[in-house]
Amino acid sequence: MDFAFSAEQDALRTTARRYLTDRLPLSRVAELADSDAGWDVASWPELTALGWLDEELGPVDHAVVFEEAGYSLYPGPLFASLALARPAGYRGAEPATLAFADPGRPATLAGTAETTCRAERYGEGWRLTGRKTFVPDLLGAAHAVVLAAAEEGPGCWLVDLRAGGATLRPLSTRDRTRRLGELILSGTPATPVVPAAETARVFADVRRAARAALACEAVGVAQRCLDLALDHARNRKQFGRPIGSYQAIAHRLADVYTSVALARSLAYWASWCVAERDAAADSAAAAAGAAASDAAVLAAEAAVQTFGGAGFTWDSPLHRFYRRAQWIAAFDGGPRNQRAGIAAMLLD
């Protein structure tokens, strides 16, 4: 049993922290969040140069990257590319995403049989027709892996979003650093990437990878909220004393620390289980996902309260972390769905 990261992984973390702090400080993230694009497109080749998109990186390496991306609230299609498109069959270093949800259908990764998006043969190739919604980072992606149903059953096809055959509509999203979009396909040319026989297995992989990644990201979000709150609690004085000396503040932050400590352990464990295809991977990813998203929401709410009025402003970075925490809590059914999966494992 060894819980430690390797020297390479530690180095990856140090470089990631330095790059994100220098290149995308919170002031810059705020600017980007309020911009039309929502992210700095020029950051992508930089991430590529840093090696974050390397095929050789495994889930434990990704754990480091996602935790740091959450800590700095990196706006850009990193999660969509590495934890959704890649496990769904996308090979490549350009930004990509996964379009799995259909309007009016459950927006979870479990509903592959439900899709109403159609895939048809067209000469040598394929065409897709239908609508996909809640697509993460759609507007930042160059490619989308699309869940659609052919005669053989549901499978995945790759659509080149820059080729002009599809309509991309941004959805007005609470988290301005990870926007959702609607993808309208009308006979759009596409390349098959996952055959019907593989779809169930692939989506189980996607779900595990996505949950582990979001768990690590949520740990980063929670840790940053805690760090911001602690810094304020040490320095802000009221009644002649730092507010952090009052137990009502200190004890709440101690509870946040405890939640983050447990969530972090689960997130790393889950990432390792996913990497090793361990028998516990599904439950580990569900446990980590639920605990970390709860911890992130708890931390963000405690941080807002610790800052008082200053925490309630648009200028404070806290609402951006809070929105991300809530984004994570709503994705793929969130903690409720994850606990339901664990209950089935324990009780059925």
Shortest distance (Å) from residue 250 CB to other proteins: 4
Q: How far is the CB of 315 from other proteins (least distance, A)?
A: 25
Q: Which CB sits closer to other proteins, 101 or 256? A: 256
What one-character-per-residue DSSP string does 306-337 give? HHGGGGGSSSSTHHHHHHHHHHHHHGGGHHHH
Residue listed under structure tokens 């009052």: 246
The CB-of-340 to other proteins minimum distance in angstroms stands at: 7
Between 38 and 334, name the residue whose CB sits nearer to other proteins. Answer: 334
Minimum CB–partner distance for residue 79 and other proteins (Å): 21
| Distance of alpha carbon 241 from alpha carbon 328, whole angstroms | 36
Which of 3, 314 has the CB closer to other proteins? 3
* Nearest distance in Å: CB 175, other proteins: 24
Q: Shortest gap between Cβ of 194 and other proteins (angstroms)?
A: 29
Closest CA to 118 of 88, 84, 147: 147
Going by C-alpha positions, the residue among 175, 249, 248 that lies closest to residue 218 is: 175
40's CB contacts (< 8 A; 6+ apart) are: 24, 28, 32, 75, 76
Whose Cβ is closer to other proteins: residue 201's or residue 251's?
A: 251
Element (H, E) at 184: strand 180-194
Of 35 and 258, the one with the shorter C-beta distance to other proteins is: 258
Identity of the residue, 58 or 189, whose beta carbon is nearer to other proteins in the bound complex: 58
Residues that bind other proteins (CB under 8 A): 1-6, 60, 230, 233-234, 241-242, 244-247, 249-251, 253-255, 257-258, 261-266, 268-269, 272-273, 278, 283-284, 287, 290-291, 336, 339-343, 346-347
- Burial letters 264-302, b for 16+ CB under 10 A, else e: bebbbbbbbbbbeeeeebbbbbbbbbbbbbbbbbbbbbb
The pair of three-digit structure tokens given for residue 230, joined into one six-digit string: 């602690």
Residue type, 208: R
Helix (H, G, I), strand (E, B) or coil at 238: strand
Q: Which residues have a Cβ under 8 Å from the Cβ of 242 and sit 6 or more positions away?
A: 233, 234, 235, 236
Minimum Å gap between C-beta 313 and other proteins is 24
Residue 57: phi and psi, rounded to 5, are -65, 135
Residue in 263, 247, 267, 257 with CA at minimum distance from that of residue 299 = 257
With respect to other proteins, which residue has the nearer C-beta, 42 or 347?
Answer: 347
